[in-house]
Amino acid sequence: MSTFKGFLREDGAVGVRNHILVLSTVVCANVVAERVARRVQGAVAFCHTNGCGQIGEDLSQTIRTLAGIGRNPNVFGTLIVSLGCEGVAACDILNDLARNRKNIELVTIQECGGTSGAIRQGERILRGWQKEWKNQKRVPCQLKDLTVGLECGGSDTSSGIAANPVMGYVSDRVVSMGGKVILSETTEMIGAEHLLAARTTNGVLAKKLLDFVKKTEDSAKAMKVDLRGTQPTPGNIKGGLTTIEEKSLGCLAKAGHSRIVEVVGYAEQPTKQGLIVMDTPGYDVESVTGMLAGGAQIFLFSTGRGTPVGCPIAPVIKVTGNPRTAERMRENIDLDASGLTLGRQSIEEIGDGLFTLLRKTASGRKTASERLGHTEASITRIGPSV
């Protein structure tokens, strides 16, 4: 029960997928990156709208995120696609990745004579990797090598009653086996942070966590409006969530009951095994991208109202506690936890099913978002474009 079959990387990390990553450094390189990825088997593009007009910590956070995504264990090799004049220094990402991993290359559009030349060069590089890529075989791996990202999106009250507690049960199990689990979405800690702070292993971590929550609440307050204009979202409110505090208390359930051993910033890589808190926005796609850069190979994602979003290079397992969503958005849902909402099944019963699904997914079973081709991604910003 504590093993799965994954891809062993040269730096010792273990992937649950074997993607060839085409990493765009800036919005101007997105189209080239997408076209290169479309031409080669096994390749997937990571596109975003950042990469230029950024300064200070806003810029370094984007660079850290891009490098983290290239370092993700689900990646076999990374082709960086750069325009050539953007703020993000593509060479630095190249050198950073090449320190521990092979199959890292850079294509610069301005040095290839434009769109067509860059696409041709990128395609040539990826074709050169095809033989080795195809020879990658899954080998037995330990669940302690997994980093599981926790997420919720399109929440309603069933999320806090069923889907999140079931995910919490699985989180505790992964932690007890020595794996890493990341809880994120700082906005959705507002009103529940005292319960999280009490679970940290020392006062320094508690203070760091409380400071992240205060910073997020202060930045919302600086807009001079009620946070309820967006949190809970209009859909959350329709689903019965009245306040951010109520949403937060429900969100918290997905982190089970484990102690919090580390608190990290957006896209930072945790160093400890166990339950980790990452500072990210409540905006689900940005949060998933941050955890992906932090090394998460697989995600558990609860949804009450239903959402199709996925991730370019990691499987996202969708869990709903809403019986209507389980029916109406069946093609987007991997696990129906509504039996708990309706009192027909126990947390343990549904949780054991989710744990088995996690192992099977880690070993290669495709999720709904993978089957449907969902590859949404977005890197959060902390400053305006300049």
Partner 1 sequence: MEQGYILINKGDNVVTLLRDFEKGERINVSELGIEFTLLDNVEFGHKVAIRLIRNGEKVIKYGESIGSSTKEILPGEHVHIQNTVSDRGRGDQ
Q: Where do contacts with partner 1 occur on this chain (CB under 8 A)?
A: 156-158, 160-161, 190-192, 195, 217, 220-228, 231, 237, 239-240, 242-246, 249-250, 304, 322, 324, 341-343
Residue among 307, 322, 296, 376 at smallest CA distance from 69: 296
Joined tokens for residue 280:
């990210």
Min dist. Cβ of residue 234 to partner 1 (A):
10
Min dist. Cβ of residue 183 to partner 1 (A):
17
Min dist. Cβ of residue 255 to partner 1 (A):
14
Which residues are 300's β-sheet partners?
150, 317
C-beta closer to partner 1: residue 6 or 191 = 191
Min dist. Cβ of residue 325 to partner 1 (A):
11
Joined tokens for residue 352:
């054991």
What is the DSSP pairing of strand 14-15 with strand 3-8?
antiparallel
C-beta closer to partner 1: residue 322 or 332 = 322
Handedness of CA 230, 232, 235, 237 (dihedral sign): negative
Decide: helix, strand or coil at residue 299. strand
C-beta closer to partner 1: residue 65 or 248 = 248
**Residue 38: C-alpha distances to residues 22, 24, 32, 120, 334 (Å):** 10, 14, 10, 12, 27
| 248 vs 316: CA distance, rounded Å | 21
C-beta closer to partner 1: residue 144 or 228 = 228
C-beta closer to partner 1: residue 76 or 169 = 169
Min dist. Cβ of residue 242 to partner 1 (A):
5
